[in-house]
């Protein structure tokens, strides 16, 4: 496998992380940039050496540009035979790179990273972990993903056998329930996992689902019902979308957590329960507390440990691994994802996260008439041919809100200076600021 050693990768923070290659086992998963000018190509002396026929001897150049108050990396094609692509567009001039920029050279797809390059060197793109003794698969019961997923799973495993309540934050579709299931398995608790989506049930029904009721407690209660709190005794109670729980139900849940007793509706005598509580939300619970929509005392009980699942657009190193898993799940385990198929997925932002990726793979499998998933099996808006601009159209790389904020802070709110760093007109920077709700005045020094 060509590329830098893990030890050399540890010394650098900037570099290229491999996201896709047909022969990925023979390509290093990470290439640190150890100099201000780095060559990518087949040449054995290249800083990023990739021994593929589709890669020219000197394929592309990466250059670090530094002025008085900023640093930016650019990439330039070195008149290669097959071109260098940023996103889905072939470049013909030096192009600035932001953290997370997707590049294609030959048959390989990379992501430019400004930090954590060492983390990408630990495993292949299929999740097979690299070590001094060879490759090893990650634990089978852990949610699928590479280093960012492993970091969350390790935090959960560390507290799994303790009574600590865990709050899992993340956008819709990031897999919060899978991590709750992992926490329950790792806890060793003998009781069951009981889950409730707080946003799917009206307030009155929510209380009866959670706490249960006795016969005659209300009109239509013709028999006793055991609530989820009691049925989770000895196990784990998982409350999804806890931020949508009504305040009345929040007060009753708090009493359960404080007393470790549950009083079903219509009952006189409370029942003792031994439960581990985990919750999940896509909302900012702290902001909800400040706004009076969520009880602060309940938040303190539920969020003894908070873990955050990054959205799929921020962990694109997981896309190949997840794609293969979903292909297998939907009956195409022996199929192969083509370069065009993977390029379309890797340059997409996935607003609906892992759930959306599975839907796209499932659809592609249904339309695939051979053993290879192609870009044409995806919806039209994802196909590279439909998003590539004409040669005379400008290349637009929209920075993330975090990256734009960083540059505004670096340049003290000077929009023109930010534009020069990104090689964009100030008007474009202003459009991005409006999109993210950023005000350059807040980044300027106080008078």
Q: 286 with 326, same domain?
A: no
Cα 199 to Cα 63: distance, rounded to the nearest angstrom: 50
Residues 205 and 289 in one domain: yes
φ, ψ at 243 (rounded to 5°): -65, -15
- Quick one: average pLDDT of 55-81? 91
CATH number of the domain within which 82 lies? 2.60.200.20
Where among 278, 308, 338 does a domain terminate?
A: 308
138/145 Cα distance (integer angstroms) = 9
239 falls within a domain: yes
Question: Considering only CA atoms, which of 102, 92, 173 is closest in space to residue 398?
Answer: 102
Identify the band that residue 12 occupies on the pLDDT scale cut at 50, 70 and 90: low
Q: Residue 283 domain-assigned?
A: yes
Same domain, residue pair 24 and 123 = yes
253 shares a domain with 158: yes
In a domain, 418, yes or no: yes
* CATH number of the domain residue 166 falls in: 3.40.50.300
393 falls within a domain = no
Residue 212 lies in a domain: yes
Assigned token pair, 300: 């303190």
What is the per-residue pLDDT for 10?
46
Closest CA to 174 of 357, 35, 343: 357
Strands 60-66 and 71-77: antiparallel
Domain range for residue 371?
A: 314-379
One domain, residues 12 and 86: yes
Q: What is the CATH number of the domain that holds 351?
A: 1.10.8.60
Query: pLDDT value at position 77?
Result: 97
326 and 421 fall within a common domain: no
In this structure, the answer to whether residues 175 and 69 fall within a common structural domain is no
User: pLDDT grade, residue 7 (50/70/90)?
Assistant: very low
The larger pLDDT score, comparing residue 58 to residue 417, is at 58
Q: Please report how many Cα atoms fall inside a 13 Å half-sphere around the Cα of residue 49, on the Cβ side.
A: 12
Question: pLDDT: is 417 or 154 the higher one?
Answer: 154
Is residue 67 located within the same domain as residue 47? Answer: yes
Same domain, 319 and 300: no
* Spatial distance between the Cα atoms of 268 and 248, rounded to a whole number of angstroms: 19
User: What is the count of structural domains for the chain?
Assistant: 4
Same structural domain for residues 224 and 324?
no
Any domain includes 29: yes
Please check whether residues 244 and 327 belong to one and the same domain. no
Domain match, 318 and 366 both: yes
Q: Kindly report, residue by residue over 319-347, the tens digit of the pLDDT.
A: 999 999 999 999 999 999 999 999 999 99
Domain boundary among 136, 169, 196: 136
């Amino acid at each position: 496998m060509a590329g830098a050693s893990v030890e050399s990768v540890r010394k650098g923070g900037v570099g290229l992380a491999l996201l896709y290659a047909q022969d990925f086992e023979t390509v290093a998963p990470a290439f640190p940039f150890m100099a201000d000018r780095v060559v990518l190509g087949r040449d054995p002396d290249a800083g990023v050496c990739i021994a593929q026929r589709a890669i020219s001897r000197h394929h592309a150049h990466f250059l670090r540009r530094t002025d008085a108050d900023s640093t930016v990396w650019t990439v330039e094609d070195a008149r290669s035979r097959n071109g260098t692509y940023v996103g889905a567009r072939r470049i013909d001039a030096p192009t600035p790179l932001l953290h997370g920029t997707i590049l294609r050279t030959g048959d390989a797809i990379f992501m430019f990273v400004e930090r954590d390059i060492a983390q990408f060197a630990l495993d292949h793109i299929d999740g097979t972990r690299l070590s001094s003794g060879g490759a090893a698969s990650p634990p089978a019961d852990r949610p699928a993903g590479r280093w960012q997923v492993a970091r969350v799973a390790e935090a959960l495993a560390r507290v799994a056998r303790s009574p600590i309540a865990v709050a899992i934050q993340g956008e819709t579709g990031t897999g919060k329930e899978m991590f709750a299931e992992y926490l329950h398995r790792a806890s060793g608790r003998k009781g069951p996992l009981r889950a409730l989506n707080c946003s799917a049930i009206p307030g009155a029904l929510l209380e009866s689902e959670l706490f249960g009721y006795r016969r005659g407690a209300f009109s239509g209660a013709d028999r006793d019902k055991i609530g989820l709190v009691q049925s989770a005794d000895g196990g784990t109670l998982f409350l999804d979308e806890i931020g949508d729980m009504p305040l009345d139900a929040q007060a009753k849940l708090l009493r359960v957590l404080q007393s470790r007793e549950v009083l079903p509706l219509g009952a006189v005598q409370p029942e003792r329960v031994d439960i581990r509580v985990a919750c999940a939300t896509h909302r900012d619970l702290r902001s909800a507390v400040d706004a009076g929509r969520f009880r602060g005392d309940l938040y303190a009980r539920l969020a003894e440990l908070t873990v955050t699942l990054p959205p799929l657009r921020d962990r694109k190193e997981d896309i190949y691994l997840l794609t293969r898993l979903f292909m297998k799940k939907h009956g195409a385990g022996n199929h192969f994802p083509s370069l065009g198929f993977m390029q379309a997925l890797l340059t997409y932002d996935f607003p609906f996260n892992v759930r959306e990726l599975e839907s796209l793979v499932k659809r592609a499998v249904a339309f695939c008439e051979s053993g290879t998933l192609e870009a044409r099996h995806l919806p039209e808006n994802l196909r590279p041919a439909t998003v590539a601009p004409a040669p005379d159209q400008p290349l637009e790389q929209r920075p993330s809100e975090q990256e734009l904020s960083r540059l505004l802070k670096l340049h003290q709110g000077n929009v023109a200076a930010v534009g020069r760093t990104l090689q964009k007109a100030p008007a474009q920077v202003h459009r991005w600021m409006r999109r993210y709700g950023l005000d350059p005045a807040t980044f300027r020094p106080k008078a």
